Amino acid sequence: MFIFALDFCLFFFQFNPLMARYSKSDNGAFIFKSGLFAILAGFAFMIFNQFAGSQKPPGNAEKPAPSVVIPETSNPESQPENGREPTVPEQILPAPDGEIVRHTYFTLCYSEDDEQASWVAYELTRDRLNDNWVERSNTFRPDPEVHTESATPRDYNGSGYDKGHLCPAADMAFREDAMDETFFMSNISPQVPGFNTGIWRELEELTRDWARRFGKLYVVTGPMLRQQALGQIGFSKVVVPSYFYKVLYAPDHHRAIGFMIPNEISERPVMDYAYAIDAVEKSSGIDFFPQILKGLDEELEGNLDKNAWPVNQKRFEKRIKSWNLGKSAPN
């Protein structure tokens, strides 16, 4: 553009008759032409600057500042939401039949077809139970770690079923974050209110009694999804199980027991629903503690000694008189 303007000035001086006349008359014409040339050159330079300043380079015009890209976790299944390493021993986990989700203090296998966990596994210890308990949070919410998306609290609204814990909140009351994890909806299953506040609560409290007695328990629990369901609830079509199970193994005392309980109010003793682990495996289709109970230990799976698991008769009576009627909050 600048070259074009300069050419224009030269053209002007070469062919303008007035300039030619002044150049022949006297030397003042030279001064006049020089001054006019300077003016026109300056004018051309101004036009060039204005034009050039209004142009934007193609592909680079007003580029926004580059955003910072945060890389995703390399293995999302191995890292809980809070960034802590999982504490659940890998050897206590059943074989997966769905998505494995590892939280800090329990691991679960999520069944997308049923919108709940098929099993939840964790370690329950005397030391944790003897810690000061934190306040119950009741922060029910979807589990962000479930890649296919978990059920939501809204699925349970107006359904007539409780949001029943699989890993109980009270089992994780030794830390606020541990307690908080139990309110992910992946750890929740539809339960009849009198079942949730009644016999299921009694079994949960007995499990804590046994953990204090034996020092440590490995626990695997969940709904029996192979049995005929009671129906579905909510937009997510959450399956309502007809039975729930709980399998316990005391590693330091080499004792094991399983339970299968119908999702209904019961006035029968808890031990009426006790079974050898083999029986629970056949009904649920789940192989419990496959890395622990093998070889000679398989005999433990096929036998049951109820006397090794003492119960509290007063708690049973309280359940019949009060808990079955929902007169006390569940754990």
Catalytic residue IDs: 165
Residue 240 token pair: 């309502």
In DSSP terms, 120 is beta-bridged to: 108, 221
Q: Are 168 and 250 in contact (CB under 8 A)?
A: no
Burial class (CB in 10 A: 0-12, 13-18, 19+), 112: middle
Between CA 154 and CA 211 the distance in angstroms is 34
Kind of pairing, strands 231-233 and 255-262?
unpaired
- Find, among 284, 330, 311, the residue nearest to 163 by Cα: 330
- Find, among 221, 282, 257, the residue nearest to 93 by Cα: 221
Mention every residue, 6+ apart, whose C-beta is less than 8 A from residue 124.
171, 207, 208, 211, 216, 217, 218, 219
Between CA 239 and CA 128 the distance in angstroms is 33
End-to-end CA distance of the chain: 82
Between CA 263 and CA 129 the distance in angstroms is 27
Q: Are 236 and 151 in contact (CB under 8 A)?
A: yes
**DSSP state string for 36-87:** HHHHHHHHHHHHHHHHHHT---TTTTTPPPPPPPPPPPS-GGGS-TTSPPP-
Between CA 75 and CA 95 the distance in angstroms is 19
